[in-house]
Structure 1
Amino acid sequence: MSDTSRDTILRRIRQALQQPAPQPARPDFTAPLHPRPGADEDLAVLFAQSFVRVGGALYYCESTEHFYDQLFAYKKEKSLERLFVWEPELKKLLHEGNLVFQDSETDFLEHADAGLTTCEALVARTGSVLVSSATGSGRRLSIYPDQHLVFARTSQVVPDIGDALQSMQQKYGPDRLPSMVSLTTGPSRTADIEKTLVLGAHGPRSIVLFLLDDAPAATA
């Protein structure tokens, strides 16, 4: 008696069930989630591309004097009357460049046009700026003003967020991390209300980075 179509299908199912199903390879949970940059890739260039892509404004500075010129031109272009700077090393740097800034908290709440801070690290993959409360800028200067200006060096660029956090642990120790650590990725924005994009919803309306190239000069 010949098999019916139903018998043929059932036999194939029974044969398939007798063979163990192939199992997927065990995932390597220690492997990085995202590919690491190649040895021939410039981290500073990768960061610059990511930073601009998320809405940041980047000014590349070839030297300290070039930074003075860039910052002076930016202040003039944006008509910044009050640039708040609270970190001692930044105050010294701007004094040497004869740049005018507000070095105290006088009128800060009423006239916080812009604040200039340093940062802990720059993340190449996401274009993020890692700031903390451990600097003289504290918690407020990177959040409250309408414009957040950052002075950083190319040597501070790391591949990914994990590398940035690891550098924080190495700098401060795992038990003495700053009370506030924040990743800033582009200007503050939200589209929660009626899907309308609003800038400056819970932080600065713009983030501007002055990136000083401190890579050692190539020798012939």
Structure 2
Amino acid sequence: MATSPSKEKILKKIREALSNPVPLPFPQSEGTNTVYVENRDDVVVTFAEEFTKLQGKFIFCENEIVLTNQLAQLITQRSWSNVFCKETALQNYLTAINISRYNDLPSCDVSITGCEYLVARTGTIVMSAAQESGRTTSVYAPVHICIAYTNQVVYDVKDALKTLKEKYAYNFPSFTTFASGPSRTADIEKTLVTGVHGPKEVFCFLVERT
């Protein structure tokens, strides 16, 4: 079947365009550069500011002794008796303040986990299934406590993803989560409600470590 003159004209223009591509008008707009001004002078301060804006509760600890004291004080103030924690290193902190291990996640008062990284720009806690806590510990409990260290703070989400890929180059976790403050939704009459799909409160204890 013969090609119509109008169709042939269109095809000719397409072939000419493909053989003589037009240079990109904005060569720096391909998404390789960040659109945010990076402030890496003190990512810890940036994280604290952004995390608290999202209703997170931030506690800075100069060392692990301060951490255990602050943790004990919080647990006592809140009268938490059922503290769930699966991570061996973090259980040692609980042992030091005479908190017995509680093994039933659905009925616990609070869960304690570590994290992979903290993202300063967005105030986000990055966790993965590769941690001892697994997928569910940080979302089932009504209150989530994350214990992290200053050498885990990165500036942006892309930095966290890059370091995760390097860390798990040959066995990337099956699940990675980016949690920014307590869970919240405004689905019902556009009223913001916290604690609907996850913890109502999120604490981050950040311990100094070089």
Short-chain TM bin? 0.7 to 0.9
3-state secondary structure, aligned to 1:36 = coil
- Counterpart in 2 of 1:72? 72
- Shift of residue 91, structure 1, vs aligned partner: 1.5
- Shift of residue 24, structure 1, vs aligned partner: 5.2
Instruction: Check if 1:154 corresponds to 2:143.
Output: no
What's the CA shift string for 1:185-205, capped at 9, x where partnerless?
A: 010000111112211111110
What's the CA shift string for 1:152-186, capped at 9, x where partnerless?
A: 0011000100000111111111x521111000001
What's the CA shift string for 1:9-65, capped at 9, x where partnerless?
A: xxxxxxxxxxxxxx9533342211212225xx2111111111111110011111111
3-state secondary structure, aligned to 1:151 = strand
Aligned-partner Cα distance in 1 for 2:205–2:28: 41
Aligned-partner Cα distance in 1 for 2:53–2:181: 8
Instruction: Check if 1:131 corresponds to 2:127.
Output: yes
Q: RMSD value over aligned CA atoms?
A: 1.5
Gaps of 5+ in 1: 1-22, 216-220
Match for residue 108 of structure 1 among 93, 105, 110: 105
- Counterpart in 2 of 1:94? 94
- Counterpart in 2 of 1:33? 35
Higher helix residue share: 2
What's the CA shift string for 1:110-142, capped at 9, x where partnerless?
A: x22110000000001000000111111111110
Instruction: Mark the CA change 1:28 to 1:101 in structure 2 (over 3 Å): closer, same or farther.
Output: farther
Aligned-partner Cα distance in 2 for 1:61–1:53: 20
Contact between 1:85 and 1:101, CA under 8 Å: does it hold in 2? no
- Counterpart in 2 of 1:46? 46
Seq. identity, %: 37
Number of matched residues? 186
3-state secondary structure, aligned to 1:77 = helix
- Shift of residue 108, structure 1, vs aligned partner: 2.7
- Counterpart in 1 of 2:7? none
Aligned-partner Cα distance in 2 for 1:151–1:211: 6
3-state secondary structure, aligned to 2:48 = helix
Instruction: Mark the CA change 1:70 to 1:128 in structure 2 (over 3 Å): closer, same or farther.
Output: same
- Shift of residue 150, structure 1, vs aligned partner: 0.5
Report 1:176-215 matches (<5 A). 176-215=171-210
Contact between 2:52 and 2:58, CA under 8 Å: does it hold in 1? yes
- Counterpart in 2 of 1:170? 166
- Counterpart in 2 of 1:19? none
TM-score norm. by structure 2 comes to 0.84
3-state secondary structure, aligned to 1:152 = strand
Instruction: Check if 1:122 corresponds to 2:118.
Output: yes
Moved over 2 A (4+): 23-29, 92-95
Aligned-partner Cα distance in 2 for 1:82–1:182: 25
